[in-house]
Each structure stands twice: as structure tokens, then as C-alpha cells.
Amino acid sequence: MKQAVQRFGKFLSGMVMPNIGAFIAWGFITALFIADGWLPNEKLATLNSPMLNYLLPVLIAYTGGKMVGGDRGGVMGGIAVIGVIAGAPDYPMLMGAMVMGPFAGWVIRTFDRAMDGHMPAGFEMLINNFSVGIIGMLLAILGYYAIGPFMSIILVILSKGVEILVNHGLLPLVAIFIEPAKVLFLNNAINHGIFTPIGLEQAASAGKSIMYMLETNPGPGLGVLLAYWVFSKDRATKDSAPGAAIIHLFGGIHEIYFPYILMNPFVIVAPILGNVCAILFFNITGAGLVGPPAPGSIISFLAMTPKGSTLNSIIGVCIATVVSFLVAAPIVKMAGSKSLEESQSKMASMKAEAKGSAAAPVSISSGAVKKIVFACDAGMGSSAMGATKFRNRIKPLNTGITVTNTSVDNVPADCDIVVCQVTLQERAKKSAPQAQLVTIGNFLADPNLDQLYNSIASMGSGGTATAVAEPEEKEEISENKTVMLREGVKLGLKSVSKEEAIRAAGELLKQLGCVGDAYVDAMLEREKLVTTYMGLGVAIPHGTTQAKGEVKKSGIVMLQYPDGVPFGDEKAQLVFGIAGVGDEHLDLLANISNALEDEDLLEELKTTNDVDLILKTFS
């Protein structure tokens, strides 16, 4: 049930999140140019209504349709939602778009499956184009007469419900559900799937909405982190809290405080009460935002605050912070806690479930598994490290299982289990339909790898052979083919964006004569396919399979960012850029993987200014 709710919430927020930039653009236009805005402009204010009533619903419907029915589903969603908009002219039809978009995608997907193999040769384009046009027209008519009016009724009911809560002073009680739901990774679903559509309707009539403030206030989480900073007895937790507080407050990444809640679950009372008090203050003072702050940082929160209400927003955040801190402080001070690492591992498992990527427990019997293949896009970097680390992990079990790595499109026929990232699972199924699939978030520290290990361990010692790498023919590597040079190590760099870090690694490989110009762009393209973040603060960006022709000689460079580079929700302090001819780079990758086994050494590598230590570790 929990996973079903999480996946449904993920689906709802998935229609809104890619379009947050459009929401922010609309919010700024509202805040700046309406009559009560910061820079009133009658002409520019006319942009408000078309963006709210047409642009945002069409974008959401297109995204929802594409999620279900691909590109044709996206077009269908865009066509069909116009009927919904025209059928409910008095309300912004975001919720209607969230219904019609996926429905239209499902309709065209069903049609395409029914027509598969039944279209006369030469008529494919005609049928494909006319099917979208005709079915899209019919769905637009359905939206005009049925779905639009029905969603208007639903929106009226929800708005009246919110009005009742506001008028009776009950709105603060929603914090009882918001804060625990956030820790279960339903924050985006609640904020963008429920509060944003309701808030848009309120903002359209009143110019602002309190609904935008309910989940995004950074104060409750900030109070928890400050309490751990001041009162935690665990040194690692105490030292990590200030950095987490900065990322949370200014970066808007609320997920960073979730493991601190999981260490002492009773601490959840603190953000609940902090948010209750803040919402009560916002309710009494008539506060609201003009658009959804995304991400939920203090910067976004204030940017979406209407003119004349900035002080109210700041006070509300401070109230939430102070109350949350005061409630969390004695709990943190008196209660024992799990380690932060253990809680982060638990959070990773929960997050995998929320994204629908958690694998079912792997059930294997003794002798049933002979070969495990770690697969990534190119089979060059991340899969090689993942295979090395897992091979070393199961080696003491004496199972005789071979662990190797390859490109996801070239999985060998004798493979029994394929381990790959979630976004590559369809390619893995096509490449190795006979193999059992284990999907992961990253190759170094993932709960599904723990499940696989436990399943193998439960087999017992089935023989005396050890887990070994797949025997392969390798070129002899002469002493002058060292792939990590002193010039390829850069330490103490200032934090930059993921794209800037990847390009810097590629440019350094190019300067060392390892790759051509096109390889750098291929590294960025590779990152768009699936993240090269490995876990444990390590990323290994490299080029696509198609860019191997750009590799002139093998090389690995290392860029150290002590403050970290954001790779999605994680941060990488060590960024290794890779270019490999044949298998020349695999020995160094094995050294990197082995170094990750030593936690103290790994932490030292993230901050050291000693290049000789780096070269000694990875040579």
C-alpha cells in the first residue's frame, strides 16, 4: 500500500515538476506586473491570464500524456486538454490537465497497440497522423462536455473545503500530515499534485495563496538541523548538521534533513509543531505567495512573496525554525540515536521505493547463479567499478560466481543476473531476456545490492572457488602507459554545477592528449542518459559508446571538490573523468573501488591537498 501511494504521488508530481520553470515565470509576472505588484505594468500584466489558463494546463497535459503514451501521447494530451479548458472557463484547469493528459496518452497507446502489425504498407504515416487528429478531436469534445465541467465541480468542492479550514482556523492541522508524508518522499506529490492546483485557483482570484506556503517553508527542517548541530552527542552527526542546514535553507533540498528524522523518529514532532505554528501565523496575517516556490529554499520563498508581505514571510519561517528547534532540542539531547550513515542508508531504500525502483527480493538457489553482469551504457566506468566492489564483497563467501561488467547492449548470453540502473532496465531486458534483473540507483551503495548480497550469502558456501572477474584478453600495459598523471589531479576546487564539473574533467582529458573535442560533449550527453554518480561522494563521468572513436589514449583525471558538486539529490566530492582504450583503465578503476572500501581513506581523499597521496592511492 505504501509503495502504491508513493508511486501514485510520484506520477502526479512527475507531470508538474518538469514544468516548474513555467510556474516560476508565471509567478514572477504576477508578482511584478499586476496592479499590486512590485513594478505595475498594465500591458505586461495581460500575460498573466494566458499563461495561467492555457500555457500551464497544456504543458502539464502534454507531460502527462507523454509519460503514458510517448510523444504521440504528449500531443494527444495537448489537444484534448483544450476541450477541458474551454469547458471550464471560470477556473484554471491544472487538475483537469492532470486527468486528461494521462488519459489521452493511454487512449493513443491502446490504439497503437491494437494497430500494431495491422497497418497496410505505405499507409503508416497517414494512419498515425489522422489517428491523433481524429481521436484528439473526440477527446477534446469529451473534455468540453464532461471532464471540464466535472473538474470544475471537484475544484469548487476542494476550494470550499480549504475555505472552511481557513475560516475555522483548522488549516494548521494539515501539518500533521505534511511533515510525516515528506519523510516518506511524498513531498512533491503533496505540494505539486494537490496544493499547487488549488493554489493556482486562489492566486488567480486573490493574487496570492497560502497553499504555496504549507509544504515549502524551510523553517521546520532548519530547526531540526540546528538542534542536531547544538545538542547531538554523535560527533559525525554534529559536524554534518551545519552544512546540511545551509544546503536545506539556501538550496531548498528538504530531503537532506530526512535522515536526521529517521535517526530519532520521535523528532518528527518538532517539524510538525513548527509548521503548525507557522501556518497559524500565515493564516491570521492573511499571508500567501503568488506562485509555488521551487525548490523550497528561503530564496524561492521570498521571491514568490507579494509586495508588502516580505516581513510576514520571514517571520513565518523564523517561527517554524524556533518552535522546531525548541521541540527537537531536548529530544536530541536525551535520546540515543542511530548513526547518520545507517539512517541515510534507510532513506536511500525508502527513496528507491518512492520512485518505484526498489527491486523485489532476489530469490536464488545454490548453483543457480554462475555469472552476474554489471551493465552501464558504455560498459567502461560505472559498471566496472560496481563489478569490482561487489566482486570483492562476495569473495569471502566462496560461491564461485563470476562477476564482470559490460555495456548494457552487449550482455553475454550466459549471464544469470544483470545489475543496472533503473533507466537502463528496458535495454537490459532486450539485451538479456534470459537473465534476472536487479535495478539500482547507484553502483556503490544501494539497498538492492544489499538484497542481492544477502540472497547470495543465504546460499551458503556451495564450493571452494572464489568470486572472480570474467577472464578477458587484455593488452599488456607498459610502464609508460600510466593513465593517471600528476597534471591530471586538481585539488581544492570550488563547488560548481554538475555540467561544469563534467566539462572541466573532459577538458582536462583533452589537455592531456587523451581525447578529441567531441568526447567532452559526449560526456555531457552520457550524463543525460543516466547519472554517473556512483555513491559515497564519487562520480565517474565518461563518454558514450559512440564516442569511443574520440579516445586517443587511456587516461583518468581526478577533480576534488571538498564542498561537493550536486548530482541530483547527492553530492560528489571526487569527480573522476575517464577515457579508455580497450581495458587499460580497468586496473585504475579497481584501485579506486578498493580505496572506497577504506572509509577513513575515502574521507581523507575528499579534502587532502597532497597530490602524492592521490597518485599513491590510485597507482
Peptide bond into 295 cis (omega under 30): yes
Delineate the domains of the chain, giving CATH numbers in brackets.
43-168 (no CATH), 171-196+203-355 (no CATH), 371-457 (3.40.50.2300), 481-618 (3.40.930.10)
514 carries an active-site annotation: no
* Catalytic residue (one of 192, 248, 254, 376): 376
Beta strand spans in 231-295 (E) = none
Strand, helix or coil for residue 566: strand
542 carries an active-site annotation: yes
- What is the phi/psi pair of residue 407, to 5°? -70, 145
- Sign of the Cα torsion 570, 574, 576, 577 reads positive
Burial class (CB in 10 A: 0-12, 13-18, 19+), 16: buried
d(CA 478, CA 25): 57
DSSP letter for 551, please.
B
d(CA 28, CA 172): 27
Whether the Cβ atoms of residue 306 and residue 289 lie closer than 8 Å to each other = yes
Please, where are the H alpha helices in 88-206? 94-115, 124-142, 148-167, 175-183, 187-190, 196-206
Whether the Cβ atoms of residue 493 and residue 387 lie closer than 8 Å to each other = no
* Catalytic residue (one of 248, 254, 542, 585): 542
pLDDT recorded at residue 146: 94
- Own/partner long-range contacts of 599-604 (Cβ < 8 Å, ≥24 apart): 602/536, 602/537
Comparing CA positions, the residue from 469, 462, 474 lying closest to residue 403 is 469
pLDDT recorded at residue 439: 85
pTM over 0.75: no
Low-confidence ranges of the chain (pLDDT < 70): 1-10, 12-13, 159, 162, 166, 183-193, 335-368, 377-382, 442-445, 459-483, 545-547, 582-591, 595, 619
